[in-house]
Amino acid sequence: MAPKIIFINPPLTGQERYGNLAGAGVYMPPLGLGILASLLRGKGYKVRILDCEALRLNLEEAVREVFSFSPDFAGITASTLAIYSAAALAAALKKRSLKLITILGGPHLTALSEETMDLFPQFDIGVIGEGELTLVELLQVFREKNNLAGVEGIVYRENGKAIKTPPRPFIENLDTLPFPAWDLYPDLKKYYRPSAFGFRKLPCTSLITSRGCPGRCSFCNQGGWGRRYREHSAGYVINMVRLLYHKYGIRDLAIYDGTFGVNQKRLIDLCEMLIKEKLNLFWSCNFRVEMAKPEVLRLMKKAGCWGIAYGIESCSQDVLNFLQKDITPEKTAEVLRWTKEAGIISKGYIMIGTPIETARSFHKTLDSVLKLDLDLLTVNSFTPFPGTLDYQRADSYGKFNRDWKLLNEHNLVFTPKGLSAGEINYFIRLITRKFYLRPRILWRYIKMSFNPYFFKLLFNGLVSFARFTTRNISINKEVTLF
């Protein structure tokens, strides 16, 4: 009988992930689990995906669903925010069956492998970095009862001690991987949704077309993908798009590459293929400021791109230099102008409370961001994530609460020297309010509300916005999490 493996996205509520902005949050399928499931199904394993977050399952319900499949292996993914939820699930599974092998993967385990395994003995094995080839070999070792020490890219226990094997080389040709097993997720149209302002047409789902990022940002954790950029070919991507469009009825794609368009030739080839397909398809992506060119932006628009998100981070050059962003505020302003001229909506991400933040840099960002050609803005609190340079150096620059359960960019976990938590909270809400409560921005959302695609998500987003911007708005009200 073929072994059974269930891949699990552990229980996590919208409140835990997004805080007061849960109503405007993004809920998309865990694509990494889909690729693993597809790969192992192709090798004869019986496979299931259990997305507890999408199905809104609590711990007890998740355990019941797992054992209804009677698996031999449970592969659980976890970000830092979800690691305690994953550990609680693994403990409950082991309590019911010691024979079930629990395997942990994901960005948190990759960043803090031995520390995580020492803290959570309910995980039998951890898969570090890219999991596809490692997991295939690991399960074969279990079937043949061979020694785990020969498997690259894992952490396991020997005599109660965590043992980390040598790293596995990256997958060079991503086209050798199968498409995600979209049929194993809960109904894509029913259980997943973009953010309130993150689509132009429904149904919408996410897509990842590359791995790694050549940037050197100090706050970014590339998880198991590293900084060396690799990509699916344009032909591979267009075949995924065709499948999602024709079989699953998807009409909008959120491309979640860390940085889309590193290889401009591939980007141009893909855009030309999309234009030739003549699909009624919209899409959006993440882009680096220094990679944008006017002629490429115009081609992207013609190919169906409606929105681009840029990591602006700050309008203070000193802060940008500290974060190793390798951009200038002047270049950002120029690229946003090009994006607007191309007819593409632009979204900016900025963070408040970086290690060298001052009241002066706060005001510099506030004054400058209101002058930019931006349509959407997300303001997060600076969060040092495991696996990043900032996680290593944060304690030297201020107070850092390392509680993994709080690391979601919405909880205030870091306060730089010379500033208070209350000041940071105040400026996050102040910038958000001043940006969105302007006639030009308000009019855009009033027009959007007449579209039936937008009304419900827009309403939820506005409710979340009101809760977020009106809570703790007084600068004199101290917010302390330490």
Which domains occur in the chain, in start order?
4-164 (3.40.50.280), 195-470 (3.20.20.70)
Mean pLDDT to the nearest integer, 118-129: 96
> Which two tokens mark 317?
């050059």
Cα separation of 341 and 53, whole Å? 39
Instruction: Of 202, 178, 181, give the one whose Cα is nearest residue 51.
Output: 181
- Tell me how many degrees the CA angle 474-479-481 measures, rounded to the nearest 5: 165
Percent of the chain with pLDDT over 90: 77
Residue 482 confidence (pLDDT): 21
Cα separation of 90 and 435, whole Å? 43
Q: What is the largest CA-CA distance in the chain?
A: 67
Instruction: Of 352, 270, 265, give the one whose Cα is nearest residue 305.
Output: 270
Question: Mean pLDDT for the chain?
Answer: 90
Question: Does the pLDDT of residue 87 top 70, yes or no?
Answer: yes
Lowest mean pLDDT among 208-222, 326-340, 396-410, 444-458: 444-458
Q: 287 forms bridges with which residues in the sheet?
A: 310
Question: Could you tell me whether strands 345-352 and 376-381 are parallel, antiparallel, or unpaired per DSSP bridges?
Answer: parallel
End-to-end CA gap in the chain: 53
CB 461 within 8 A of CB 401: no
Instruction: Read off the pLDDT band of 470 (50, 70, 90).
Output: low
**Residue linked to tokens 């006639």:** 439
pTM, full prediction:
0.90
**Residue linked to tokens 């077309």:** 209
CB 481 within 8 A of CB 413: yes
Q: 156 forms bridges with which residues in the sheet?
A: 125, 163
Cα separation of 180 and 324, whole Å? 34
CA 4 to chain centroid: 28
Q: DSSP labels for 424-475?
A: HHHHHHHHHHHHHSSHHHHHHHHHHTTSTTTHHHHHHHHHHHHHHHHTT--T
- Phi first, then psi: give them for residue 354, nearest 5 degrees: -70, 165
Percent of the chain with pLDDT over 70: 90
Mean pLDDT to the nearest integer, 307-333: 95
